[in-house]
Structure 1
Amino acid sequence: MELDPLGEDTAASLREIVRAGRHLQALLDEALDLTRIEQGRVELHCEPVNLHAVLLECFSLTELDAAGHAVSLGAPPEACTSLWVMADRRRLSQILLNLLSNGIKYNRPGGRVDVHCRCHRDGRAEIVITDTGVGIPEARQSELFQAFNRLDQEGGFIEGTGLGLAISKHLVELMGGGIQVTSAQGKGSSFSLFLPLAGDSGTALVHQPSGTREKHGDQAGRRHKVLYVEDNPANLRLVEALLSRREDLEFLGVQEPGECLSLARRARPDLIMLDINLPGTSGYALLEGLRQTPGFEHTPIIAVSANAMPFEVERGLEAGFARYLTKPLDIGLFMETLDELLEAPDEG
């Protein structure tokens, strides 16, 4: 119909039909997405993701929208270039696009949207998206993440489903992070997205107790060996990157569960990490095999798994794992756990 000659009134009506159809499609898509998330049917693939690269992609997708609203979009800061976070890349893009789009459409003509990044010593990255828009009354900020709640904007000119922030909150929490908002009515809003740091950018700022580095290893300066059995190469690379910044630790990684026992016998690791869900076997089976191997009766063995339900954690500890860590790794907790177990006196 758009290709046919139309009167202006008919063309305007057609544009409205198309716009309403697209809005309805977005509403249905987001409602289904939220339902899947709340029912636990969303599968995330968390891996080290370069924050700067994702931001560049999101900025390129929102530039035209910003121009259409006469809003200036600041470039991703250089501080993000070396930052890597543990996240599902596709879902992280979805969250950032939602926050950037909100900053644009709830802004004022001539306004700005800026992004800032920083690291925290608790092993988290913070991405702050700030706008110069209408702001949100303090009394209503607690309603922001409620599904379908648009803070009385339903009858206004700004389109939206009222689901984007609710979905974003669920997703970032599933990735081990969080989201916060600060806003002043008439001055604008800032949304802070927190995610676990990964790779070198995480190890540089991991909090460690005073004097921890000096305590590692024996008096001869021997490096502690840490063996990690994990079939996901991205997870192996993450832990290798974390341990590479520690002069007192030596990383040993293996993807094939069948190589675990033979490598353990040869290398004699001081600590072992086992993924629970492994091809052809499980971390529980490897734990039993290691405990039956002479010399490994008291070696600290850590379970690493995406199964984070309390009963799963309890099962792992009852089976004999020294600790049960869940994915995505809380990097601060992970490093503290290594310190604690490697400094513990040998029970053997």
Structure 2
Amino acid sequence: MTDASPHARKRRNWPSVTGTPEQRASKGLSRLEDITRLISEWVWEADAEGRLTYASERLTEILGIIPMELYGKTFKEFGTFIGQDGEPADPDLTKPHRELKFRMMGRDGAVHLFLLSGLPFYDRDTWNIEGYCGTVEDITDTEREFDDLLRARAAADKANLAKSEFLASMSHELRTPLNAILGFAQLLEYTPNEPLTENQLDAVRQITSGGDHLLELINDVLDLAKVEAGKLHLAIDDIDMRALMDELKPLTLSIAKDRNVAYDCMDTMGYFVRADHIRLKQVLLNLLSNAVKYNRRNGTVRVDFSTAANGMLRVAVNDSGPGIPLEKQSKIFQPFARLGAEETEIQGTGIGLTISKRLVEAMGGRIGFESTYGEGTSFWVEMPLSKRREQTAQEPASKAKGFGVEDVGMSGRVIYIEDNPANVMLMQSILSHIPGVELQVAHTAELGIALIQQDPPNLVLMDINLPGMSGIEALGLLRQDAKTRDLPVVAISAAAMPRDIEKGLAAGFTSYLTKPFDVPEMLEVVKGILDKG
């Protein structure tokens, strides 16, 4: 009777298991050797003392060594085991082991690195260890690639550190002269008892505008570096969009006035969004200033608000400018791509939109645009909506930039420790207009400490990078002296990187102002301290 079942047909195709036990063992061994030739590792066996009794042909392919040359030797005799610390190790090979690092030299003198794995096998009658078997994987190339990656990472870290040091140095070296340029320009512009002619005022405003633009460039480059390094600190909170747009309105109008551009902002509908207040303001101001700068004369800028199904509030800044050519739109968020604007009189850094995109995405939002060449452009930002809604109308949070130095009522004795003559002259010029304030100047920290200890003032203003003793070191000495421990000391420094400010405040400075400082802001800090007595 013929068995025609599917299982019977399959059995007819099975390998034959007939023959003597010796023949079957020989066939099994042959198949096993075929398998060992196919796998990337080399297979080994050893006796109960760990002496090699078998190694597959893969050993010869990798090292050029004939297996029989190693028979009768232990792994420790022809190679070196490596511990996790990279130093030679002496593992116990009588126990099961997995992926032990093992170094061995080939016929050509090249050193290879392997991962050795093995386990014992036992006599079926006595259950004594009869020997060991396992595999050896060549990881030389993998380890070399890993080392290359580590070296590349170290080189990248070194380059990044060099970039950070360069940016910090650049920032400091540019901020120091800018402090004098912008400070004296503000003094000239806002000193009522010594009024300038209209032509002189225009010239001073050009100085201020140029200085502000240079400061903007410095800050933009530093911002981009921080974002790229992932070191940007964000304080996410509920942001009132009505109050934020009220803050932006006078800034936008002042830019729009120069180009006769009409500005209109629709109602914010009382919405709050989740964002960092300073950074969202920075992004929207960048979009608004771009909409004005790149607009046509007598054009319009309109801000619209709408909610999206994804739980976002969309803020769209629409302009009636020339629009962006289609072939240039793909480069709009690339750093330093001004798309031809560098050939015009319009000032810009070319990285404002790059920074805006990184900031928006870091805050969990989205940014994009639509543009029709010859008609205009609409840049939009989407930020996560907050559950909070506006209850009552908010007063505008803006304040005028103008100030009158003579109107600042305060009195006290101030010591200013600063080595830069221009900055000393600026501070003398500012405080000379305030009759109640007496100013003493020291050009080194050592001289400043001597003046302070001789007769402690009401306030100390101090630079950080001073010749000889630094401002940080001088502050430490003042804080150790019981007579000056509680003396208010304000840092005024061109070291403006976040780590510099954090270091200064952690050292114990009462406040930390960065150069170039805003004169009204500086006077506000000084007045606040002197008024407390």
**Structure 1 equivalent of residue 359 of structure 2:** 171
- Per the alignment, in what secondary structure is the counterpart of residue 197 of structure 1? strand
Q: Find the aligned partners of 2:263 and 2:198 in 1 and give their Cα distance.
A: 34
Offset at residue 191 of structure 1 (A): 0.5
**Structure 1 equivalent of residue 337 of structure 2:** 149
Q: Does 1:129 find its partner at 2:312?
A: no
Q: Does 1:95 find its partner at 2:283?
A: yes
Structure-2 change in CA distance of 1:7 and 1:137 (3 Å): same
Where relative contact order (Cα < 8 A, 6+ residues apart) is larger, the structure is: 1
Q: Find the aligned partners of 2:224 and 2:206 in 1 and give their Cα distance.
A: 27
Q: How does 1:19-98 map to 2 (within 5 A)?
A: 19-75=209-265, 77-78=266-267, 80-98=268-286
- Per the alignment, in what secondary structure is the counterpart of residue 232 of structure 2? coil
**Structure 1 equivalent of residue 300 of structure 2:** 112
- Per the alignment, in what secondary structure is the counterpart of residue 28 of structure 1? helix
Q: Find the aligned partners of 1:190 and 1:181 in 2 and give their Cα distance.
A: 5
**Structure 1 equivalent of residue 369 of structure 2:** 181
Matched AA of 2:286: N
Q: Find the aligned partners of 2:332 and 2:288 in 1 and give their Cα distance.
A: 15
Offset at residue 20 of structure 1 (A): 3.7
Q: Find the aligned partners of 2:196 and 2:286 in 1 and give their Cα distance.
A: 35
Q: Find the aligned partners of 1:7 and 1:83 in 2 and give their Cα distance.
A: 46
**Structure 2 equivalent of residue 160 of structure 1:** 348
Aligned pairs, how many? Answer: 199
Q: How does 1:1-348 map to 2 (within 5 A)?
A: 19-75=209-265, 77-78=266-267, 80-200=268-388
Whether contact under 8 Å (2:302, 2:317) holds in the other structure is yes
Offset at residue 200 of structure 1 (A): 4.8
Unaligned stretches of 5+ in structure 1?
Answer: 202-348
Structure-2 change in CA distance of 1:81 and 1:60 (3 Å): farther
TM-score of the superposed pair, with normalisation by structure 2: 0.35
Offset at residue 23 of structure 1 (A): 2.3
Q: Find the aligned partners of 1:25 and 1:125 in 2 and give their Cα distance.
A: 32
Unaligned stretches of 5+ in structure 2?
Answer: 1-183, 189-193, 390-533
- Per the alignment, in what secondary structure is the counterpart of residue 342 of structure 2? coil
Q: Find the aligned partners of 1:12 and 1:62 in 2 and give their Cα distance.
A: 20
Offset at residue 8 of structure 1 (A): 11
Whether contact under 8 Å (1:54, 1:93) holds in the other structure is yes
Q: Find the aligned partners of 1:60 and 1:19 in 2 and give their Cα distance.
A: 17
Whether contact under 8 Å (2:238, 2:388) holds in the other structure is no
Matched AA of 2:233: E
Offset at residue 72 of structure 1 (A): 0.5
**Structure 2 equivalent of residue 296 of structure 1:** none
- Per the alignment, in what secondary structure is the counterpart of residue 121 of structure 1? coil
Structure-2 change in CA distance of 1:32 and 1:83 (3 Å): same
- Per the alignment, in what secondary structure is the counterpart of residue 238 of structure 2? strand
Q: Find the aligned partners of 1:66 and 1:15 in 2 and give their Cα distance.
A: 16
Q: Find the aligned partners of 2:195 and 2:337 in 1 and give their Cα distance.
A: 40
Matched AA of 1:157: E
**Structure 2 equivalent of residue 325 of structure 1:** none
Structure-2 change in CA distance of 1:66 and 1:16 (3 Å): closer
Q: Find the aligned partners of 2:376 and 2:227 in 1 and give their Cα distance.
A: 30
State percent identity of aligned pairs: 40
Matched AA of 1:66: A
Offset at residue 22 of structure 1 (A): 3.1
- Per the alignment, in what secondary structure is the counterpart of residue 244 of structure 2? helix
**Structure 1 equivalent of residue 143 of structure 2:** none
Q: Find the aligned partners of 1:32 and 1:43 in 2 and give their Cα distance.
A: 13
Structure-2 change in CA distance of 1:166 and 1:12 (3 Å): same
Whether contact under 8 Å (1:50, 1:81) holds in the other structure is no
Offset at residue 81 of structure 1 (A): 3.0
Offset at residue 155 of structure 1 (A): 2.6
Q: Compare CA radii of gyration and give the structure with the larger one.
A: 2
Q: Deviations over 1:74-109 (max 9, x none)?
A: 03x22x132111100111111111101011111111
Structure-2 change in CA distance of 1:29 and 1:120 (3 Å): same
Whether contact under 8 Å (1:132, 1:188) holds in the other structure is yes
Matched AA of 1:36: K
Q: Find the aligned partners of 1:87 and 1:96 in 2 and give their Cα distance.
A: 12
Whether contact under 8 Å (2:332, 2:353) holds in the other structure is yes
Q: Deviations over 1:132-169 (max 9, x none)?
A: 01110111111111111111211311111111111110
Offset at residue 14 of structure 1 (A): 7.3
